[in-house]
Amino acid sequence: MNFETMSKQRKIILGASAVGCIALFLPWINISFFGISSSLNGMHDKGILVFICFVVSGVLTYSGNRTSNLGKTNWLIVLMAGALATFIMLWYIIDDSESFTGSLFNIGFYLTFLAAIVVLIAVYFYKSPGDSIKAGTDHLNNSIETKSKENSL
């Protein structure tokens, strides 16, 4: 892989996806009570879905022609994965803001949240001129129809 020839959009998404995957294994919550401390990483509960979103984003970004931006279908899927990861991270903040652990978020949580936002921003702001949600869904529908017609013959 020649990282220098990769499009800017793909570089940013790939980097943010890698950081997000790694950050899920870092401590998200640290709790100390009477000299006993415990930490919890992001690889549990909804964090596994965030991990899947980062993996999907990274794999789709790495596949295909790396010198150009994402194609319409991959663009739409990576946009949805980034939006889902960002939404889940916001859900953690809202859900835990009233609980005991809300103020105890650690570096892994913040890095994962930042990586999800960066994936979402990079997909949207570095898109090709023809990329839109409608164009992506139309392209995806056409691909599905073409494949189903080929399989029915």
Mean per-residue pLDDT of the chain? 83
| pLDDT at residue 88, as a whole number | 92
Supply the pLDDT for residue 98. Answer: 59
Domain boundary assignment for the chain: 3-152
- Residue 103 has a pLDDT of 57
What does the pLDDT average to over 40-60?
90
The tens digit of pLDDT for each residue in 126-147 reads 877 777 777 777 777 887 878 7
Q: Which of 51-55, 97-101, 121-125 has the lowest mean pLDDT?
A: 97-101
- List the one residue out of 2, 50, 1, 3 whose CA is nearest residue 25: 50
Alpha-carbon distance of 62 to 98, in angstroms, equals 39
136, 73 in Cβ contact below 8 A?
yes
Best CATH choice for the domain 3-152 from the list 3.20.20, 3.90.1200, 1.10.3470, 1.20.140:
1.20.140
What 8-state DSSP symbol labels residue 105?
B
Asked whether the predicted pLDDT for residue 81 surpasses 60, the reply is: yes
